Amino acid sequence: MRQEEYLKFIADKNLDVFLRQGYATAGHNGPHGHPDTPARNTAHYLVIYSYLYKKTGVDKYKKICDVFASYLYDIQAQSKSGAVKCMETDRFDHLNGLIGQGWIIEGLLYYYDVFKAEKALAVAMAIYKTQKYNRTLHLWHRTELDGSDIGIDPTYNHQVWFAACSSRLAEYCGDSTIDDTIRDFLTAGAKRDFRIYRDGLLKHYVDISNKMMRKIKFKSLIKVCLTPVRFVSPKKFDSKYMEYAYHIFDLYGFEILKERYGELPLFSSEKYKSAVEFACDIKNVNKTCGVYRALEKGDMFNIFSYSYNSPVFEFPYIATKNGYKDSEVFNELYDIQVKLMFDKFTGMFSRNNPDIETWNARCYEIVRYLDAR
C-alpha cells in the first residue's frame, strides 16, 4: 500500500533529526496557522514509530519511541494542572482544545500497547483526568495549564476525538467511570449534538444554548482574526466549507468509538447511517471540496481537505469498518493526492501544503487501517 510506503519514508527521513532534537518538529495546526509546540507531532510520530517497530522489530524505532515517550512525560509534568501545552500562543488556549489533549493520550496509549510501558498509561490517565466532564451538558470542559476552567469546547469533533482517544483507558485501567462518562456522551450528549444536514453532512458545533453559543462564536471570530495574515481566508467564516472537509475526520473519531460502544443506539440510528453514507460517497466528498475543479482547471481546493484532513489516510479506515473496502478506490485517492500536492524535488506532499510538518505527522491516521487488515 502506497500510504504505508510513504509513512515509512517520512519516518526514516526524519529519524536522525528527531533523535538529535528529542522530539518531532512542530507545525502550526495546518491551515489554521496557530504555532504548535512539538507535543502534537511527537504524539503522532510516536504512533508511527511504534507501529514500525511492531511490524519490523528494528531497534532504531524502539529507541526513538522511548525518546518521544520521555519527552511527552516531561512536558506533561511541567504544568500545574497536568494538561499538556500543545500551542505556543497566549492569545487563546494552550491546549489546542480537548483534541490536543486527546492526541497526546492516543500516542501514549499506542506506545503502551506495543511496549507495555506502565508510565505511559499513568501519564495518559493523568492527562485524561485534567479535563472535567459536565454531566448536565454531557460535554467536557477545558482545563488550562494553570488549572483554570475555560469552559466547554464547542467544536464537536474535539469532544468526539477526546472521547475516542481516551476510550481504551477504560479497558487498560479497568476504570468503569471512564466507560460511564463516554456512554453518557454518546447517548444523552449525542441525542442533542449529533446533528446532520439533509444530505448527511455533520454539523461542526455542539448544540448548546443560544446565549452560550453566541459567546463561543464571538471567541471563535477573535481567534480567526488573530490568525497570521498569510493563513487568513474568508472561507474560514463559512461553517459548511469547514464541515465538508472535516466530515471524514469526524466520522473517523466516531468509528473508533463504535469499536467499543457499537451497541449504543447512536450507531444504528438513521442519522448515523446517513453520515456514514455521505462519508463513503468519496466522489461526492471530493466534489464538494472542489477537488475535481482543482484537477481540471487549476483552482484551489478546500484548504482543510487534502492539505490537512487527507482522505488518503482517513478514508480507508472508516470505509473498511462499514463494508466499503476497495483498494482500487484507495489507490485513486492516492493518485489525486499526488496530482494536488506531490513535489518531486522534496519527494513529499509539500506543494499546496501550508504545514508539511503536521501533514506528515498526520499520516499516522492510516495505522488503524493497517492494524485492522
Dmax over Cα atoms in the chain, in whole Å? 55
Residue 159, judged by CB atoms within 10 A of its CB (0-12, 13-18, 19+), counts as buried
Distance (Å) of CA 199 to CA 203, 244, 281, 285, 319: 11, 11, 11, 11, 18
Which residues on neighbouring strands pair with residue 36, listed in sequence order? 87
Query: Using CA atoms, how far apart are residues 53 and 66, in angstroms rounded to an integer?
Result: 11
C-alpha cell belonging to residue 352 = 499546496
The per-residue pLDDT for 127 is 98
Q: Which residues pair with 196 in a beta bridge?
A: 202
Query: Residue 325: its pLDDT value, please?
Result: 83
Closest CA to 250 of 181, 303, 202: 202
Nine-digit cell string for 7: 509513512
Look up residue 317 and give its amino acid: Y
In sequence order, what are the beta bridge partners of 141?
152
Among all chains, which residue has been given the C-alpha cell 508539511? 356
Cα-based angle 344, 346, 350 (whole degrees, multiple of 5): 90
75: three-class secondary structure by DSSP: helix
Residues whose CB falls within 8 Å of the CB of residue 229, separated by 6 or more in sequence, listed in order: none
- Pair 50, 114: CB distance under 8 Å: yes
Helices (H), 22-57: 39-56
- Identify the CATH number of the domain in which residue 267 sits: 1.50.10.10
pLDDT score for 295: 97
Encode the chain (373 residues) as per-residue pLDDT tens digits.
899 999 999 999 999 999 999 999 999 999 988 899 999 999 999 999 999 999 999 999 999 999 999 999 999 999 999 999 999 987 779 999 999 999 999 999 999 999 999 999 999 999 999 999 999 999 999 999 999 999 999 999 999 999 999 999 988 998 999 999 999 999 999 999 999 999 999 999 999 875 565 555 555 555 555 555 454 455 656 789 999 999 999 999 999 999 999 999 999 999 999 999 999 999 999 999 999 999 999 999 999 999 999 999 999 999 999 998 889 999 999 999 999 999 999 999 999 999 999 999 999 999 999 999 8
- What pLDDT is attached to residue 270? 98
3-state secondary structure of 196: strand
What is this structure's pTM?
A: 0.94
Separation of first and last alpha carbons in the chain: 11
Structural contact between residues 176 and 170, judged by C-beta atoms closer than 8 angstroms: yes
pLDDT at 206: 96
C-alpha 315/C-alpha 318 separation (Å) is: 6
Dihedral-angle region of residue 175 (phi above 0 means left; psi in -120 to 50 means alpha; beta otherwise):
beta
Q: Read off the C-alpha cell for 353.
A: 501544503
Report the side by side order of strands in the sheet with 149-152. Answer: 133-134, 139-143, 149-152
The whole domain housing 212 covers 2-372
Give CB contacts under 8 A, 24+ apart, made by 53-56: 53/114, 54/114
- The 3-state DSSP class for residue 149 equals strand
Query: Total domain count for the chain?
Result: 1
User: What does the pLDDT read at residue 236?
Assistant: 59
Do 101 and 162 meet the contact criterion of CB atoms below 8 Å apart?
Answer: yes
Determine how many CB atoms are found less than 10 A away from the CB of residue 13. 14
Interval 113-147: pLDDT, tens:
999 999 999 999 999 999 999 999 999 999 999 99
Amino acid present at 166: S
User: Residue 161 in contact with residue 185, Cβ under 8 Å?
Assistant: no
The per-residue pLDDT for 229 is 44
Distance CA 181, CA 185 (A): 6
